[in-house]
Amino acid sequence: MIWTAFLLGFLGSFHCLGMCGPIAMAVAAADQKQYWTRKLFYNLGRTLTYSLLGLLVGTMGWGLELAGVQQWTSIGLGVLIILFALLYRKGEQAIVQVGLYKFVGSIKASLSYWLRKGGTVAFFMTGLINGLLPCGMVYIALLASLALSSPFEGALYMFAFGMGTVPLLFILMLGGQLFSPSKRQRLFKLMPYFAVFIGVLFIVRGLGLGIHFISPELSSLAPSKAPTEITICK
């Protein structure tokens, strides 16, 4: 499942260029060595934030697994991923409109502060904070992390997602206009279809069909094969 996170991040980055692209381009330095160092630390900070978010939601999913609803959670979240992918634009706007204006404003103020401050540490902090910006792509990846029901796998999934967004941002830094808006739009159109595919994978996983790796027979729905013991009191 981890490879799906990388590809989801890569396809989603064509949309995220509008929000993250200017910030990535602002992480500059006169010295060529410092230039690449700061770009690296910026992307590491962003990916670290995604990984910590994945750790958090993965822990929540682990709690649901302990409650015995792991498979139903996987099916339900798979459906949510599909719905969010099909209604991507409306879903992203709705999430931003539910009282997140002040939150987004504080994030942008922090970004402005660290960008003005300059330096490698400052750009690492810029990446950390940038990872908190509302983004529909991140929400889809977090839903998948929650369905994995594991803190480690949730963190690893979001790390792979973050790494998937890095190549295009580096290409932007090198080539500037290498991808025209029309080309970016055409590639981004693949994202909803791939997100639907991820949702279907989680639904199949939750069905517990006994297919190794794809749909394992999980304990919450699988019938117990152990013999039932009856204690007879004398």
State the average pLDDT over residues 111-129. Answer: 85
Cα separation, 154 vs 158, in Å, equals 6
Where do we find the tokens 């279907």? Answer: 200
- Range picked from 28-42, 58-72, 156-170, 204-218 for highest mean pLDDT: 156-170
- The pLDDT of residue 218 is above 90: no
Q: What local confidence, expressed as pLDDT, does residue 155 receive?
A: 95
- The pLDDT of residue 181 is above 70: no
Q: What local confidence, expressed as pLDDT, does residue 36 receive?
A: 76
Q: What local confidence, expressed as pLDDT, does residue 45 receive?
A: 92
Q: Lowest-confidence range among 4-8, 30-34, 109-113, 166-170?
A: 30-34
34 class by beta-carbon count within 10 Å (0-12 exposed, 13-18 middle, 19+ buried): middle
Contact residues for 195 (Cβ-Cβ < 8 A; gap 6+): 8, 81, 82, 84, 85, 88, 140
Provide the whole-model pTM.
Answer: 0.75
Q: Lowest-confidence range among 100-114, 169-183, 190-204?
A: 169-183
More confident residue, 49 or 34: 49
Cα separation, 143 vs 147, in Å, equals 6
- Cβ count within 10 A of residue 105: 10
Cα separation, 138 vs 196, in Å, equals 15
3-state SS record for 59-116: HHHHHHHHCCCHHHHHHHHHHHHHHHHHCHHHHHHHHHCCCCHHHHHHHHHHHHHHHH
Cα separation, 101 vs 152, in Å, equals 31
- Range picked from 9-23, 55-69, 138-152 for highest mean pLDDT: 138-152
Residues facing residue 159 across a β-bridge: none
Tokens at 48, concatenated:
């670290």
Q: What local confidence, expressed as pLDDT, does residue 226 receive?
A: 46
State the average pLDDT over residues 84-102. Answer: 65
Asked if 199 and 79 touch (Cβ cutoff 8 Å), the reply is yes
Q: What local confidence, expressed as pLDDT, does residue 58 receive?
A: 92
- The pLDDT of residue 54 is above 90: yes
- The pLDDT of residue 175 is above 80: no
Position 221 confidence tier, pLDDT thresholds 50, 70, 90? very low
Q: What percent of the chain has pLDDT over 70?
A: 66
Where do we find the tokens 């983004």? Answer: 135
Cα separation, 65 vs 53, in Å, equals 18
Q: What local confidence, expressed as pLDDT, does residue 227 receive?
A: 47
Cα separation, 216 vs 210, in Å, equals 5
Using CA atoms, how far residue 32 sits from 29, 37, 59, 102, 142, in Å, is 7, 9, 41, 37, 35
pLDDT tens-digit map of 8-40: 888 877 766 655 656 666 665 555 567 778 888
State the average pLDDT over residues 197-219. Answer: 72
Cα separation, 76 vs 64, in Å, equals 12
